[in-house]
Amino acid sequence: MQILFLSSNRHKAEEIIGMSKAFGIDLKWSRYEKLEIQSGDTSEVARTSAALAYAALRKPLIVEDSGLFIDALKGFPGPYASFVYHTIGLEGILALLDGKRDRGAHFKTSIGYADGSSTRIFEGIVHGSISDRVHRGRAFGYDPIFVPSGSKKTFSEMGVLEKNKISHRMRAFEQLAEYLIKNNAKEKVIK
C-alpha cells in the first residue's frame, strides 16, 4: 500500500520523501491542494487537513503543517509562517527583531496521517534562535535565519543529512514511521 504526501511545496516534498526512504516507507508526492483551516495550532491544521483530504481521496495520506514561533514576537509568525515568508520575507522578520535581545525561536511540525480508520498527529519541535542576518546556503523557507540550539550554523548552511538529524520535520516523521512500522506492517505499508 502506498501513502500519499500532499503538499504544493516541492522542498518539503523532497525532505519528506528522503525521510520516507530511510525508513522503507512507500510514499508518493501529490500536489493535491489540500484545504487548510486558519488556526494558531499546527496540529489542528494538520488534523483537519488530513481528515478532509482522506474524505475526498479515500487513500492513506499524510499532510504536514509547520510554524516558526519567535519568542520576542509572542510566537509570530507561528502557523502563518508561509504567508509571512511570502509577504515580508526573511528581511522583514529581521527588521521586526531589530534591536531585540531575545532572539529565541522554535520550529514546530505537525504531520497528520489519515487512513480511513483514524487520523493521527505526530509532532516535532526544534529550539534555536534567529540570526542577525540572512545566511547563504540551501535557501528553503526560514532556514537561512534559523540557528538550531547547539549549532553555530543556520539550517541553510547545513547539508540535508546534517539538518535532518535534528530537524523538527524529522522528529515528527520518526514518530510517524514508528507508528506505521508498529501498526501497519501487515498492510504492506513498509516495503
> Is the pTM of the predicted complex or chain greater than 0.85?
yes
Q: 3-187 has which CATH code?
A: 3.90.950.10
Confidence check: pLDDT of 156 > 70: yes
Q: What is the pLDDT of residue 10?
A: 84
For 65-129, give the secondary structure using H, E and C: EEEEEEHHHCCCEECCHHHHHHHCHHHHHHHHCCCCCCCEEEEEEEEEEECCCCEEEEEEEEEEE
* 55-109 pLDDT per residue, tens: 999 999 999 999 999 999 999 999 999 999 999 999 999 999 999 999 999 999 9
Cite the active site residues: 65
- Average pLDDT over the chain, rounded to whole? 90
189 band by pLDDT with thresholds 50, 70 and 90: very low
Tally the residues of the chain.
191
